[in-house]
Amino acid sequence: MKRIYVNEKWCLGCHLCEYYCAFANSGKNDMVKALKNITINPRIRIEEHNNVSFAVSCRHCEEPLCVKSCITGALTIKDGVISVNSDKCVGCYTCILSCPYGCISPSDQGAIQKCELCVKNAGGSPACVKGCPNKAIEWVER
């Protein structure tokens, strides 16, 4: 299946993926309206150190520890995409405890949030991929 792959060789550390992610999941149709004067809380995060940078977001594991560990059944995997039902999630953070890549984080609404490959928002395909200026993030079959 198509996954998000990251190649740190091409990551510029520009952080645009974070902004495009935050915008895509804001539910707003204008980036300025969505992101002006806020501290963004994106589902993809850049790690940076000594001139190396890369984006990290959910790997959509085939054997997802987060889904198996979820105490509410809010995290499910369907067609390879792991998504969260924030209605069911109580914010216990067992998934944060479980995810080996640190790709699940608290959401501003109390539950948790994670990359859902933009399947639930208006994007249709991952906004971080579209927004990456250097193809450091790709959404491909590999």
Partner 1 sequence: MPIDFLYPEYEVIRDNTRCITCRVCERQCANEVHHYDKELNMMFSDESKCVVCHRCVSLCPTRALKIVKTDNTFKENANWTGDAITEVYRQAGTGGVLLSSMGNPKPYPIYWDKMLINASQVTNPSIDPLREPMETRTFLGKKPTKVEYDQKGGIINNLTPQLDLKVPIMFSAMSYGSISYNAHESLARAAKELGTFYNTGEGGLHKDFYKYGKNTIVQVASGRFGVYKDYLEQGSAIEIKIGQGAKPGIGGHLPGAKIVGDISKTRMIPEGSDAISPAPHHDIYSIEDLRQLVYSLKEATNYKKPVIVKIAAVHNVAAIASGIARGGADIIAIDGYRGGTGAAPTRIRDNVGIPIELALASVDQRLRDEGIRGNVSVVVGGSVRNSADIVKAIALGADAVYIGTSALLALGCHQCRSCQTGRCNWGIATQRPELVRRLNPNIGYERLVNLVHAWEHEIKEMMGGMGINSIEALRGNRLMLRGIGLNEKELSILGIKHAGE
Partner 2 sequence: MNYVIIGNSAAAIGCVEGIRQVDKKGKITIISDEPHHTYSRPLISYLLLGKTDEERMKYRSDSFYEDKNVTAMLGVTVTKIDTDKRCVELEGEKPVKYDRLLVATGSRAFIPPMEGLDTVDKKFTFMKLDDAKALEDAINENSRVLIIGAGLIGLKCAEGINDRVQSIEVVDLADRILPSILDETGSAMVQKHIEDNGIKFTLSDSVAQFDKNTATLKSGKVIEFDVLVIAVGVRPNTQLVAQAGGAVNRGIVTDDRCRTTLKNIYSAGDCTESLDITTGQERILALLPNAYMQGETAGIDMAGGQKLYDKAMPMNAIGFFGLHIITAGSYNGEAAVIQSGNSYKKLVTADDTLIGYIMIGDVARAGIYTALIREKKPLSSIDFDLIKEKPQLMAFSKRERAKTLGGLR
Contacting positions for partner 1 (CB under 8 A): 9-16, 19-20, 23, 31-32, 35-37, 51, 131, 133-136
3-state secondary structure 55-70: EECCCCCCCCHHHHHC
Is residue 12 near partner 2 by the rule CB under 8 A? no
In the bound state with partner 1, the residue whose beta carbon lies nearer, of 28 and 88, is 28
The CA R_g of the chain, rounded to the nearest whole Å, is: 15
The torsion angle over the Cα atoms of residues 18, 24, 29 and 30, rounded to 10 degrees, is 10
Is residue 5 near partner 2 by the rule CB under 8 A? yes
Is residue 99 near partner 2 by the rule CB under 8 A? yes
Is residue 8 near partner 2 by the rule CB under 8 A? yes
Number of residues counted as binding partner 2 (CB under 8 A): 37
CA distance 117 to 136: 16
Is residue 62 near partner 2 by the rule CB under 8 A? no
